[in-house]
Amino acid sequence: KQEVTQIPAALSVPEGENLVLNCSFTDSAIYNLQWFRQDPGKGLTSLLLIQSSQREQTSGRLNASLDKSSGRSTLYIAASQPGDSATYLCAVRNRGSTLGRLYFGRGTQLTVWP
């Protein structure tokens, strides 16, 4: 069964810092990996989707990389802002018979202080 781990569980940084969030998964036979953001009491917002054949995806100040063979993905946030404060989750979709489902990490709770 796929296990997804996110380190650190919580991160607090001053505004303006560049930061890296980590995601690791145990089964490298994945279809894709997706990063989400969740604000308190709200649903998840999709940030970036990386297909298994891709190495990275970029959207604005966000860059996500994928190293499938080592079972790792990183989300890089450039020039962090207080509005980036949220919980960030990664999720992987496996190949195989359970093609529809995603496996989620527990998330990294990010606080950016002014």
Partner 1 sequence: DVKVTQSSRYLVKRTGEKVFLECVQDMDHENMFWYRQDPGLGLRLIYFSYDVKMKEKGDIPEGYSVSREKKERFSLILESASTNQTSMYLCASSLILDSPLHFGNGTRLTVT
- Taking the least distance from each CB to partner 1, the nearer of 31 and 76 is 31
Site string for partner 1, 69-108 (x = CB under 8 A): --------------------x-x-x-----xxxx-xxxx-
| Contact present, 3 and 90 (Cβ < 8 Å) | no
Minimum separation from the CB atom of position 42 to partner 1 (A): 6
Strands 72-77 and 4-7: unpaired
Scanning the structure block, which residue is given the tokens 């890296």?
Answer: 20
Report how far residue 113's alpha carbon sits from residue 94's, in angstroms, rounded to the nearest whole number: 36
Report 2-41 residues binding partner 1 (CB under 8 A).
31-32, 34, 36, 41
Scanning the structure block, which residue is given the tokens 């380190």?
Answer: 7
Binding site for partner 1 (CB under 8 A): 31-32, 34, 36, 41-46, 49, 51, 89, 91, 93, 99-102, 104-107
